[in-house]
Chains A and B, each alone.
Chain A
Amino acid sequence: MQDVNSGYSPNIVAFCCNWCSYAGADLAGSSRLSYPANVKIIRVPCSCRVNPMFVLKAFQRGADGVILCGCHPGDCHYVTGNYYTRRRMALLFSFLDYLGIERERTRVEWVSAAEGARFSAVMNDFVKTVASLGENKRLTDLRCKEGSDNA
């Protein structure tokens, strides 16, 4: 999806937990509930597997937005995993905000295995928001750019 105003098509990394959100994304797929191709999903066992380093890595490598999806609070397959995610990411996102990564570029959402429609709606909204912000330049490591001598 491109932003109507800026014409920018962002690149988005989505971390989805295996039990709820990844299954929710599968349901969105089998129900043909479309969302932009900018979203690429990485499967993790639990949202609490996502190390803040992974999020930083994504921004360093030029991702324009990062979203974490897990089971609803209280429904975590691993009992308490998503509570850790919630706390860790609250801290990380405010730190990123301090570094100039807009709050809107990062998000934690709860999507259950039965919520294909919600998954699609969340992704559509997130891509739209990030597209309107334009390219993420703040943390991008230019040395990693293709064609760069240091790559």
Chain B
Amino acid sequence: MQRIGVFICWCGSNIAATVDVERVSEVIRSEPGVVFSANYQYMCSENGQQLVKNAIKEYNLTAVVIGSCSPRMHEATFRKAAEEAGLNPYMVEIANIREHCSWIHKDREEATEKALVLVRTAIAKVNLDAPLQAGESPVTKRALVIGGGIAGIQAALDIAEAGFEVDIVEKNPTIGGRMAQLDKTFPTLDCSACILTPKMVDCAQNEKIDILSYSEVEEVKGFVGNFSVKIRRKARYVDETKCTGCKVCMEKCPSKKGLNEFNMGLNNRTAIYIPFAQAIPNVAVIDPEQCIKLKTGKCGICQKFCGVGAIDYTMKDEFIERKYGAIVVATGFRPLKPDKFNEYGYADNKDVITSLELERLMNAAGPTDGVLLRPSDGTHPKVITFIQCVGSRDTSGCGKPYCSKICCMYTAKHAMLIREKYPDTEVHVFYIDVRTPGKNYDEFYRRAVEQYGVDYIKGMVGKVYNQNGKLMVQGSNLIDNEQVVIPSDLVVLATAIEPEPSVRKVATLLTASIDTNNFLTESHAKLRPVESPTAGVYLAGVCQGPKDIPETVSQASACAAKVIGLLVKDKLKTNPCIAHPDESMCNGCSQCANVCAYGAITYVDKEFRLGGGKTEVRRVASVNPAVCQGCGACTVTCPSGAMDLSGFSSGQIMSEVEAICKM
């Protein structure tokens, strides 16, 4: 029988307002095995923890139950406190009477009754707890960054700065990501390329950083400190080590009708291409869908003209396998395609464009060399209308329910830049709300209105239609309470941003949690915002939620700090809540090994005494403690019930069920 101490936390009024903590504490005192029961305002405080430690020593407690917030919050805190008082840290159980009780129930009587049941359930579990010892595993001192946008670049630079090796895996032929496509950045109107490309060059020149461009993560095995990752290096058909980036191949390539992804398909590119002038690595790549040689076998002009013999049409995808201690996910975003929104006429009118397309039209390296021209007829637009929240804050099912966060600011930027460059242009903006929180952000928006005379109209657009070559934007003006129709030359849609679709595959490979909008879930919304619930996996940039460049860079640096904190350790403590077989019951049937996702179970021949001096050699299961993750799949599949899970044993869960169902 355990000597149990029960500690009920008030959590200020968070628990105490709905749960009668005094009564819970009092009633629990008479439960079998309970030798001490107390309640306190803040159990997690220094004083609260001291209370636990003192009671452990004074009453010779062998087990502790804390009735408090979720174990996901403070289990580690109380385990540490117990350990400091000389108790095995795994002899502590938490009854979640805050998130699962006081915060969701209003009736005090009902909540108190439930709290009693939850505490009794924890007592039932702790009664069967056994002391556990955490093992140790080594740490591979190398990090993987998935995604080579500004988030991945910043994270890699910061990790390399601390002296650790980093690999950036980027699926595109060059790093740089979305930021490389932008013309200017708010709120300072810095030239995007001018601030991004030096960082890209730093990455290329840093000997600790290995850029694996045109590559994708295929398989991830292992766990924090010991990931083993298989990476597909897609066939480039150009030898990266030989190509000098001279672009002769691009001049000679006869297949010139490929859509230029970098310019959002606004112009064409050749089949062999370098995405943009400052690409890193500055190496050509052949689009196999477009290349005449690869499709028909006839051509080979680029090979003929390549002075260094870098072209190799026989190249195949290659796979490499590397080991990492930590992984940063920075897979970024893409703008939502607005063709589902028929009212804006994006699919039918060439002069209805998205903001990222406008960004390319304004950029000196863009399809129009930075001169703002209508895509339909190449004339200067005189009236430009912006429509905000296209697909954002949209619960109709076509768009996204969330606010994309950056659109208000980039629309103000576009409006301002256009008025600056072409003062004779009339600029209108339809908005639902203008959201500009952030340092110097609202000031920036007000400059657009007050200094640049941009016409902001509060209201939504119902229809965009073509009438005699003019785009008629029909919407409502809620301030003046009237319907307005604005004949425009160019309509710009501030489309929602959504996580890059490849993030789903990455999340599955990493077993990282993902939400219904495909944003990766952080471990704690406020206190662990850059960590995935999967240990050793960190989140940077828009893959975690909509954010702008400064926030992305901050988050990437925060990820780097977390990664460095992990990689400086030589050894990590492993979770001791793992499976173990009862060898006397195991008959070596292999069922458990079949369901184990980690290959943690092997079989060994062992000698057993049968009595009367006889022995028998039998095949029994053996769990590798460094590999077992403690899911418990094997425990249920075992036909003889030999396999059990420490910390969540069958006996413990059975007695928890009994405690809940006490008739």
Chain A residues within CB distance 8 Å of chain B: 11, 13, 18-20, 22-23, 25-26, 28-30, 32-35, 37, 40-46, 48-54, 57-58, 61-63, 71, 74-81, 84, 88, 112-115, 120, 140, 144-146
Bound form: Cα–Cα A37–B658 in Å: 17
B658 near A57 with CB under 8 A, answer yes
The stretch that binds A, out of B178-186, B263-271, B443-451, B508-516, is B508-516
Task: Name A29's contact: one of B104, B577, B595, B650 (CB within 8 Å).
Answer: B104
A37 near B657 with CB under 8 A, answer no
Is B507 an interface position by the 8 A CB rule?
yes
The 6 closest A-B pairs by CB, nearest first: A29-B99, A49-B632, A61-B661, A114-B515, A78-B631, A46-B631
Task: Name A50's contact: one of B111, B511, B533, B636 (CB within 8 Å).
Answer: B636
Given contacts A35-B104, A49-B635, A80-B633, 14 further A-B contacts (CB under 8 A): A25-B100, A29-B99, A37-B101, A41-B100, A42-B121, A42-B660, A43-B71, A50-B636, A53-B654, A54-B653, A61-B657, A75-B507, A81-B631, A145-B663
Task: Name B633's contact: one of A46, A115, A145 (CB within 8 Å).
Answer: A46
Q: Which of B61-113 contact A (CB under 8 A)?
A: 70-73, 96, 98-101, 103-107, 110-111, 113
**In the complex, which residues of chain B have a beta carbon less than 8 angstroms from the beta carbon of A79?**
511, 597
Interchain nearest-CB distance for A62 vs B (Å): 4
**In the complex, which residues of chain B have a beta carbon less than 8 angstroms from the beta carbon of A51?**
635-636, 650, 653
Bound form: Cα–Cα A57–B105 in Å: 27
Bound form: Cα–Cα A145–B111 in Å: 24
Task: Name B521's contact: one of A11, A33, A35, A114 (CB within 8 Å).
Answer: A114
B657 near A57 with CB under 8 A, answer yes
A28 near B104 with CB under 8 A, answer yes
**In the complex, which residues of chain B have a beta carbon less than 8 angstroms from the beta carbon of A81?**
597, 631-633
Which chain A residue lies CB-closest to B114? A37
Interchain nearest-CB distance for B411 vs A (Å): 28
Interchain nearest-CB distance for A109 vs B (Å): 14
Q: How large is the interface on B (under 10, 10 to 19, 20 to 34, 35 or more residues)?
A: 35 or more
Task: Name A45's contact: one of B511, B515, B533, B648 (CB within 8 Å).
Answer: B648
Is B399 an interface position by the 8 A CB rule?
no
Which chain A residue lies CB-closest to B663? A62
A77 near B103 with CB under 8 A, answer no
Which chain A residue lies CB-closest to B633? A48
Bound form: Cα–Cα A37–B107 in Å: 9
Task: Name A75's contact: one of B513, B630, B662 (CB within 8 Å).
Answer: B513
Which chain A residue lies CB-closest to B577? A45
Chain B residues within CB distance 8 Å of chain A: 70-73, 96, 98-101, 103-107, 110-111, 113-114, 117-118, 121, 507-508, 511, 513-516, 519, 521, 533-534, 577, 595, 597, 629-633, 635-637, 645, 648, 650, 653-654, 656-658, 660-663
Bound form: Cα–Cα A19–B510 in Å: 13
**In the complex, which residues of chain A have a beta carbon less than 8 angstroms from the beta carbon of B650?**
51, 53-54
B597 near A45 with CB under 8 A, answer no
B111 near A37 with CB under 8 A, answer yes
Bound form: Cα–Cα A120–B99 in Å: 12
B631 near A45 with CB under 8 A, answer yes
A146 near B662 with CB under 8 A, answer yes
A11 near B631 with CB under 8 A, answer no
Bound form: Cα–Cα A42–B110 in Å: 19
B508 near A42 with CB under 8 A, answer no
Interchain nearest-CB distance for B15 vs A (Å): 11
Bound form: Cα–Cα A18–B660 in Å: 19
A62 near B632 with CB under 8 A, answer no
Given contacts A29-B70, A37-B110, A45-B632, contact A78 B105 (CB under 8 A): no
Bound form: Cα–Cα A1–B4 in Å: 33
Which chain B residue lies CB-closest to A74? B508
**In the complex, which residues of chain A have a beta carbon less than 8 angstroms from the beta carbon of B101?**
37
A-B contact pairs, 29 of them (CB 8 A): A11-B660, A19-B513, A19-B533, A26-B73, A26-B100, A29-B70, A29-B103, A32-B103, A34-B105, A43-B71, A44-B648, A45-B631, A45-B645, A49-B635, A49-B636, A54-B653, A57-B654, A61-B663, A62-B661, A62-B663, A63-B657, A76-B511, A78-B629, A79-B511, A81-B631, A81-B633, A112-B516, A113-B521, A115-B516
Which chain A residue lies CB-closest to B515? A114
B654 near A11 with CB under 8 A, answer no
Interchain nearest-CB distance for B416 vs A (Å): 36
B577 near A22 with CB under 8 A, answer no
Which chain B residue lies CB-closest to A64? B661
Interface centre among A34, A80, A113 (most CB of B within 10 A): A113
Which chain B residue lies CB-closest to A84? B633
Bound form: Cα–Cα A32–B99 in Å: 8
B662 near A114 with CB under 8 A, answer no
**In the complex, which residues of chain A have a beta carbon less than 8 angstroms from the beta carbon of B631?**
45-46, 48-49, 77-78, 81
Bound form: Cα–Cα A79–B663 in Å: 37
Given contacts A23-B533, A29-B103, contact A40 B121 (CB under 8 A): yes
Which chain B residue lies CB-closest to A40? B660
